[in-house]
Structure 1
């Protein structure tokens, strides 16, 4: 490090002189920093637009391109207390009449019936369902074995096929352990112990008749595993927990009934009270013998709201982008550096930055091009190839772009015409947005927009990057920002060298002046001595 002399010989303020000189030297630095900051701000503008593009593109999947939204059906019942319904999007419009419900579907149930009080299987006292059954044999009419034993239960699935499960218990098992295994099995049975009556109840979780032999829905024959691992029915006197101890018998089963009703003149039945016919989900709630009608129609309100939501989102997107490409650009208001901010008030900074951030992407070709292409996506026919296609132009369903070209394609909606189109042919309205095909004309408007936006998103990402990108070198503005940073860094190094040169020059001057002063003092001293001789 060089020694710095700061005006001892010359009497000048060298620090201030070097500072003033360096301030002049650093003037280009301010411009470089402002240029770099403007690149960062412009990157933010592009990314904000790109996020809006991505959101709109992705949201179309859940709006006008979703069939359940655009071909939505509603079902009205003449008596909701007796019959209600819902309809899938593909359900044909029409009226269904249920003239009579003879009986509702019910689930089979069974209950223990022992020799105790009120039919309990407990002989004395109260059974603790959480304690070992074997340990409570003194309270039971039939003892539980002091060894591992198997017992089985059979039900039937909706196709009438047997579902058989073998349970293995031992002397440590409690009643609640047993019932929990039943409830968690594939049998479709709900079982519980009632402490008041000291009895057990079992019921099918599904309503209706499933046993093709029209017998009981829950069979309590004893089952064991044969040598081949298959279940085998054994003799009736074989120990079976359900019949031997708990007192179940097939003769006690009640309740399994199919729903019987008359639909559009046809007498029919179902295993459940909730069933589907041609996409119409019907729920029977009570018996009756006076006709109830279910009317299926287009859910005009929901479809209308979906289309209007799409239009509103589109217009918001257009307004965002148009606002940015139309903003005034103030050339004389470059972004402020930290040093400049130190000399300004908060209000001055706010007003300056408002203009410095304005118009950074004014008339940007990528963004104006995107607006033009999106506007064009609404023009032209949509040809789905369907023979009964009711609409092929967006204007035919009441949606038009504004006549003012400066609006950049904002949409206007004739709500009366849109509702009429939905009521006439909701499927054609849906295809107007969602139709798919290889050619532009075969693709619905929402699909065209998605294609356009996907291309623009990629272009903007190449220009301004995305937040998840790891390096600035992956996109154009990022590379420009890095280059600007490198120029600033190189300039700062040069400024250090310039400052060191100034200090060397002033130090040399100070040293020379100090030496001259020293020589003058010596000379004066010698001349003074000669005068005294």
Structure 2
């Protein structure tokens, strides 16, 4: 703690504070420069995030084939449902389902009397001497062929019926459970259909190996044996069946009730008892909604970029220092900050170049297409008002007609892929432009997770931090020197006062007249 001015009567602390305030002016400018660079970095990153979001939106809307394969499908029966998965053209016709696909099944031949499904299978089993026991299961796959045999090793002294059934279900081959009401086990193949071998011969859909199946659960070795086709009255299972149908006059079958033809997914719910008529057409409204969403977000992005590159820069409103902020009201500081943060990207060449390139991307022609090769032919044009900076405008009536007539043509215009830049789709060009711009922004402003010395502004901010630290060290030394000088002056004044008093006393200055 310093107490000055006792000898001189001067407020030395205030004097030093005023002198230091003058010396701090260059430091304040460095602090303001650093703050401005941080404003600029944050504005770059904000635009970078918005460009990334728009690039992802572009991929998820106009570049996805599923956007244009959305169909409105009509069917004359609820026994059959149809949806478009990857269809590029419309379809119409008839289908007559004569048999629904079924999964093979098996069940215990007799009640498992006195069985506790939670008890150990064999508490007295000598595992150390005999090792693990094993069971093997093989079942039909989704494509109608038999899968690879799945083997499960287990210790009967540790395993219960329920825990082993749970392991069987996890193989993904069958669904199995113990029914406590009947005292039997039920098993069905995970997939429907009539299994065939590599030579096309019918085979069992479920094959079981192991005494756990045959002795403990009292199951047959396969579902064909369990079905007992020669004596159905004594059946303990069923064989798998394919879905059988006639499609536009062609008799065929599938192992599953859900199958695809020409990009459409058909799901059989029941036999149709005759022809079911169906037809499809483009889902115009959904496709239109996706394209409108893309154009709206594009217009927002270019408006945001243009707004930043043309934003007014207020040179008379540098960032506030802590001392300056303390002298203003909260509202005054807020208004000042708005001006201080304005114009950080004004005239930025990277962003202006990106705007120009994006406009060219969407306004250019795509070579190599059989149909329309410009957006304008589908009713999407650029605003004639130059102040709107290339804003896209949609003629919805014209676009609807184009979607109804040739949705795949719009997809190709946006998404055509080619090594030839002139034949690359407009959406792909746009994403490449955004990717290049983002790389340049990241090089200058980094990402939120970037280390400071890995990007240009970060290195500049670090340099300002170093300057601030060195300047503050010099100011501390200067302030200490001032205090020492004033302390020396105080000591000299005090010594002079003492000498003056001594002399006055020595020459009789203190005698009465």
Displacement after TM superposition at 1:442 (Å): 1.5
How many angstroms apart in 1 are the aligned matches of 2:136 and 2:4? Answer: 105
Number of residues paired by the alignment? Answer: 491
Equivalent position of 1:88 in the other structure: 85
Equivalent position of 2:126 in the other structure: none
1:107 pairs with 2:103: yes
Equivalent position of 2:190 in the other structure: 205
How many angstroms apart in 1 are the aligned matches of 2:444 and 2:324? Answer: 30
1:304 pairs with 2:288: yes
Equivalent position of 1:397 in the other structure: 378
Assess if the C-alpha contact under 8 Å between 1:154 and 1:163 holds in 2: yes
Taking structure 1 as reference, are residues 86 and 20 closer, same or farther at Cα in structure 2, changes over 3 Å only? same
SS in 2 for 1:528: coil
Map 1:17-56 → 2, pairs under 5 A = 17-56=15-54
Equivalent position of 2:324 in the other structure: 340
Q: TM-score normalised to the size of structure 1?
A: 0.80
Moved more, 299-308 or 154-163: 154-163
Moved more, 367-376 or 176-185: 176-185
After superposition, the C-alpha distances for 1:430-481 in whole angstroms (9 at most, x for unaligned) are: 121112233432222222222222221122222222222213x322222222
How many angstroms apart in 2 are the aligned matches of 1:458 and 1:361? Answer: 17
Displacement after TM superposition at 1:311 (Å): 1.0
Displacement after TM superposition at 1:333 (Å): 1.3
Displacement after TM superposition at 1:338 (Å): 0.7
Map 1:139-154 → 2, pairs under 5 A = none
Equivalent position of 1:463 in the other structure: 444
Return the index of the structure with the highest Cα Rg. Answer: 1
Equivalent position of 2:128 in the other structure: none
Equivalent position of 1:138 in the other structure: none
Counterpart pick for 2:117 among 129, 134, 156: 129
Assess if the C-alpha contact under 8 Å between 1:390 and 1:425 holds in 2: no
Displacement after TM superposition at 1:217 (Å): 4.6
Assess if the C-alpha contact under 8 Å between 2:31 and 2:321 holds in 1: yes
Assess if the C-alpha contact under 8 Å between 2:68 and 2:411 holds in 1: yes
Taking structure 1 as reference, are residues 325 and 516 closer, same or farther at Cα in structure 2, changes over 3 Å only? same
SS in 2 for 1:31: helix
5+ residue gaps in structure 1? 115-119, 136-146, 225-236
Displacement after TM superposition at 1:129 (Å): 3.5
Equivalent position of 1:139 in the other structure: none
1:351 pairs with 2:335: yes
After superposition, the C-alpha distances for 1:305-345 in whole angstroms (9 at most, x for unaligned) are: 22112112111211221222222222211111111111221
Moved more, 449-458 or 489-498: 489-498
Counterpart pick for 1:12 among 10, 13, 17: 10
Assess if the C-alpha contact under 8 Å between 2:144 and 2:193 holds in 1: no
Taking structure 1 as reference, are residues 13 and 422 closer, same or farther at Cα in structure 2, changes over 3 Å only? same
5+ residue gaps in structure 2? 124-130
SS in 2 for 1:436: coil
How many angstroms apart in 2 are the aligned matches of 1:164 and 1:526? Answer: 123
1:326 pairs with 2:322: no
Map 1:90-489 → 2, pairs under 5 A = 90-98=87-95, 100-114=96-110, 120=111, 122=113, 126-131=114-119, 159=144, 175-176=161-162, 179-180=165-166, 183-184=169-170, 188-210=173-195, 217-218=205-206, 241-242=218-219, 250=228, 251=231, 252=235, 253-254=237-238, 256-383=240-367, 385-386=368-369, 389-471=370-452, 473-489=453-469
Q: TM-score normalised to the size of structure 2?
A: 0.83
Displacement after TM superposition at 1:181 (Å): 5.7
Assess if the C-alpha contact under 8 Å between 1:275 and 1:282 holds in 2: yes
Taking structure 1 as reference, are residues 351 and 181 closer, same or farther at Cα in structure 2, changes over 3 Å only? closer
Equivalent position of 2:504 in the other structure: 524
